[in-house]
Amino acid sequence: MQRLCDEILQLIFCELPDPSSFTLVSQRLYRFSQDPYVRAHYFLVYYGRVEAMFYALGKGKVLDERVLDILLSSGAQLSRYLIQIAIHHYFHTQSHFIKTAWVRSVSLKVFTYFLKIAGERYGEIPHRRGEDDGTTFSNFLKESKLSAQRKTITWEAIRDILETYKFIPFCHRDPLTPQFPLALAIEPRLLPYAVANGFSMDYKYRDFVFRKMFERPASPTETRAEDVASNVRELCKLDPAMFVSRTVAAEVCMEAKANDIGYQALKQLDKSGDLHFEMSNLVEDLLRTFLTTRSICSISTGDVLLHLFTDYPSADVTVRLVILIVVFIAADQLNMTAAAVKAKLEPLGMMPVTRRDVFNILVNPFVEKFQTLREFAKSEVGVNEDDSKGMKLEEVEKLAQDVAVRCTEISCKGNLVKKLCVAFPSIKNAISRAVLSKHQISLEDLPPADDVVNCNTFSAPLSKDFTAWGAGEVHSLESLMPEQHKSEPMDDDDVELSQDDTDLSSEESSPEDQTEHLGEISQETLTTMIRHEEAVPIRSRRRHLFSFNPSDFSGRMRYPHDALPVAKWAKTQYGPRSPVVATFMTHAVLNGNGSILHYYLYVSDHPALINAGVPPGAPVPVTLKHFQLLARLGRAPSYYLWRRVETGAEFYFDENDYFLENTRSDSGPQKIKIETSDSDVTSSSSIILGPSIGSRKSRKRPRRTATKGTPSYVIPGSDDEAIVGDDVETIDAATRKKIEKETNLQLWIKHLTLLAKAEKRNKHLQSQMENDTNIEVALRLYKNEFMKSLNLNLRSLRKIEAENRTHCPSTISFEDAAFEEDEDEFTLRPSKKRKTTTHV
What pLDDT is stored for residue 272 in this prediction? 92
Minimum mean pLDDT range among 224-238, 283-297, 420-434, 819-833 = 819-833
> Does residue 387 carry a pLDDT above 70?
no
pLDDT, tens digit (0-9, with 9 covering 90-100), for 549-588: 434 567 778 888 889 999 999 998 898 889 999 999 999 9
Distance CA 238, CA 232 (A): 10
pLDDT, tens digit (0-9, with 9 covering 90-100), for 758-807: 888 776 666 555 554 455 544 444 578 999 999 999 999 999 988 888 87
What pLDDT is stored for residue 400 in this prediction? 94
Mean pLDDT, range 94-103, rounded to an integer:
84
Mean pLDDT, range 258-272, rounded to an integer:
93
Supply the DSSP string of 296-346, one letter for each residue.
Answer: GG-HHHHHHHHHHHHHS----HHHHHHHHHHHHHHHHHHT--HHHHHHHHT
Distance of CA 335 to the CA centre of its chain: 35
For residue 591, give Cα distances in angstroms to 413, 444, 461, 564, 570. Answer: 18, 17, 9, 18, 17
Supply the DSSP string of 44-70, one letter for each residue.
Answer: HHHHHHHHHHHHHHT-TTT--HHHHHH
Q: Provide the pLDDT confidence category of residue 230 given band limits of 50, 70 and 90.
A: confident
Distance CA 342, CA 350 (A): 9
What pLDDT is stored for residue 790 in this prediction? 92
What pLDDT is stored for residue 493 in this prediction? 42
What pLDDT is stored for residue 587 in this prediction? 96
Distance of CA 390 to the CA centre of its chain: 42
Q: Provide the pLDDT confidence category of residue 615 given band limits of 50, 70 and 90.
A: low
* Residue with more model confidence, 285 or 2: 285
Closest CA to 139 of 123, 150, 128, 124: 150
What pLDDT is stored for residue 806 in this prediction? 81
What pLDDT is stored for residue 181 in this prediction? 81
Mean pLDDT, range 216-235, rounded to an integer:
81
What pLDDT is stored for residue 81 in this prediction? 94
pLDDT, tens digit (0-9, with 9 covering 90-100), for 419-445: 999 999 999 999 999 999 999 999 999
What pLDDT is stored for residue 583 in this prediction? 95
Q: Provide the pLDDT confidence category of residue 175 given band limits of 50, 70 and 90.
A: confident
> Does residue 690 carry a pLDDT above 70?
no
Q: What's the N-to-C CA distance of the chain in angstroms?
A: 61
3-state helix, strand, coil in the chain (%, to 5): 60, 0, 40
Distance CA 411, CA 470 (A): 9
Burial of 763 (0-12, 13-18, 19+ CB in 10 A): buried
For residue 80, give Cα distances in angstroms to 118, 120, 817. Answer: 8, 12, 88
Written as one letter, the residue type at 305 is: L
Task: Return the axis-axis angle of helices 203-214 and 260-271, rounded to nearest 10°.
Answer: 120
* Residue with more model confidence, 30 or 430: 430
**367 close to 328: Cβ distance less than 8 angstroms:** yes
* Those residues with Cβ within 8 angstroms of residue 572's Cβ, 6 or more apart along the chain or in another chain: 609, 612, 613, 614
Distance CA 559, CA 467 (A): 7
Mean pLDDT, range 740-748, rounded to an integer:
83
Mean pLDDT, range 494-523, rounded to an integer:
51
> Does residue 828 carry a pLDDT above 60?
no
Is 534 in a helix, a strand, or coil? Answer: helix
Q: Where would I find the H helices in 408-543?
A: 414-423, 427-438, 452-457, 466-469, 477-480, 483-487, 492-508, 511, 526-535
Minimum mean pLDDT range among 170-179, 325-334, 594-603, 612-621 = 612-621
Is 399 in a helix, a strand, or coil? Answer: helix
Sequence length of the chain is 840
For residue 232, give Cα distances in angstroms to 134, 227, 483. Answer: 26, 9, 46
Minimum mean pLDDT range among 49-63, 402-416, 506-520 = 506-520
Percent of the chain with pLDDT over 70: 73
> Does residue 612 carry a pLDDT above 80?
no
What pLDDT is stored for residue 807 in this prediction? 75
Q: Where would I find the H helices in 509-623?
A: 511, 526-535, 550-555, 566-574, 579-591, 594-601, 607-611
Distance of CA 791 to the CA centre of its chain: 33
Mean pLDDT, range 723-746, rounded to an integer:
55
What pLDDT is stored for residue 144 in this prediction? 80
What pLDDT is stored for residue 549 in this prediction? 44
Mean pLDDT, range 797-823, rounded to an integer:
64
